[in-house]
A and B are shown apart, each in its own frame.
Chain A
Amino acid sequence: MRAARPFASLALSFLLLAIFVGVWQLSSLTPRGGEATVDPEYAALVGAAAATGGQTPFPSPLEVGARILEHLADPFYVRGTNDQGIGVQLAYSLGRVLAGYGIAALVAIPLGFVIGMSPLLYGALNPFIQVLRPISPLAWMPLALYTIKDSAVSSIFVIFICSVWPMLINTAFGVASVRREWLNVARTLECSTLRTAFRVILPAAAPTIMTGMRISIGIAWLVIVAAEMLVGGTGIGYFVWNQWNNLSLADIVTAILVIGLVGMVLDQLLAMATRAVSYQE
């Protein structure tokens, strides 16, 4: 690949964005049709679109932009259980993701280490991992709700179960594929098992482990939205569902943008951490 000119690609990115927003704005300018006369009280009760039998018009970029500014102006308000700022909802979601992901890392990395070092355990646990891994994390939700009886903890459990596998598999793989000669160096230096594990195997496997952690955080952030839609109460996923019930499409578009941006930040943080532990052979 030729070295890309960063300035040129940035300019092109802005151009594409401008075209997209422009087309969106133009298409939302089309006449909204059927301004039938209805009882204004009925219209106020069920919403203008419903009262005329038409569809809620898709918001224009300007409307969405105005809504984003409103959210940004006051992201952390709490006015009752169903009316909380987008920042508060994000904080709930991030808290759940970090809790479930953190517990998953605490379980998966040590366990993956042991599995990677022991071919016996690797063989014994591999069938379970292969069966459990492809299960959609949401399939665990009813069981979680039944056993844990707490919706917030259940969503943390769902995050745990979806982010544990990539970390477990990558850690085991990274540990198992540490170069024989590096282990031999440790052996000829009479390193203890612990010293070998922390000074040789861990740094050697770190890039692979971090790649697993990066895959996991991506999956966890995908799953939390669906889990919160299911469980309800708080969180960015619930926010999206609540705004769908309110037919507030501008809020939904805002939330989608925010989910994307937060996901990108999480991914970039893990990418930075991966680069920090990478080495060149």
Chain B
Amino acid sequence: MRRSFVSVEGIARRFPGPRGGPAQTVFENVWFGIEEGEFVCLIGHSGCGKTTILNILAGLDRASEGAVVVAGREIDGPSLDRAVIFQSHALLPWLTAEENIAFAVRSRHPDWSRAQVAAECRRWIDLVGLSAAAGKKPAQLSGGMKQRVGIARALSVRPKILLMDEPFSALDALTRGTLQDEVNRIVAETKLTAFMITHDVDEAILLADRILLMTNGPNAKIAEVVVNTLPRPRTRHDVHHLPGYAELRNHILDFLVDRSKRLAETMPSGWDPRSIPEVRPAVPA
């Protein structure tokens, strides 16, 4: 079988049961792949282990079983090639916006001169539109600006894969929209491979090539893969007018509202965790 660029192979996460009881399984037997340059979103309710999956991909957490293979090599801990944009932005509060990015740039290029690092920081600060706030500490920045710094920091190490854990969920709707467009543009321009966790259906449709739908935990499973056939480039202004958008959106909403709970109890017969059924709701039947 051909392996994807990122290949998640039968990972499970179990926690020891309370008072020596049976181990609690958050999820098990999770298989999926991400192709190079592809944007994949994972949607599911809280508690299904979405963040754990992302942390395993990042190398911050370890799977109880199974493995993740990236470009043919099993991952073993975090790497500069897999950058993370954290939900809580996770900026270092004692450093300015620019210093936060410089910290990342210097991690990638320890041998660079001060001027080289400064020039690279400038580039990323300009790219996310923060030139006026470069010298400010995170506490002086708005939520949206903080997350821009977080995005710039993640991109400044020139990763191969960008991992995002609900990066915009703490932001107001307007800011969220602007940042979605920017991430969409940057990821397309840099041809990054991206994996994002979200519970915002519109966000997933705007950004993702494929959307993984996860059932409720415990024992969460990826029930199906929704292929986003809406044409690119998509922007927030036109995506909801595209033919097929409503069908796509309704399919995912139906899953979240109803099927995610029903499927958590019994999966349909013939469902194989190693080849999850793909659906294309936006394609007219």
Contacts and interface: CB of A to CB of B under 8 A. Distances in A.
B5 interface: no
Given A187-B60, A189-B104, A191-B107, A181 B78 contact: no
Nearest to B157: A189
How many of chain B's residues touch chain A, expressed as a range? 20 to 34
Contacts of A195: 107
Given A187-B60, A189-B157, A199-B103, A182 B83 contact: no
A200 B92 contact: yes
A203 B60 contact: no
A182 B83 CA distance: 14
Contacts of A190: 78-80, 107
Contact of A181 (B59, B82, B86): B86
A280 B60 contact: no
Nearest to A199: B103
* Interface residues of chain A: helix, strand, loop or mixed (majority): helix
A277 B86 CA distance: 25
Contacts of B90: 179, 181-182, 184-185
A188 B94 contact: no
Majority-rule SS of B interface residues: loop
A39 interface: no
A192 to B, nearest CB: 10
B58 interface: yes
Given A199-B103, A279-B137, A280-B139, A188 B84 contact: yes
Identify the interface centre among A187, A189, A200: most chain B CB within 10 Å of its CB. Answer: A189
A68 interface: no
B72 interface: no
Given A189-B80, A203-B94, A280 B88 contact: no
Contact of A188 (B58, B92, B93, B139): B58
9 contacts: A179-B90, A185-B90, A187-B60, A188-B59, A188-B80, A189-B157, A200-B92, A279-B139, A281-B138
Closest 7 pairs (CB-CB, A-B): A280-B139, A189-B107, A279-B94, A181-B90, A187-B78, A188-B78, A279-B93
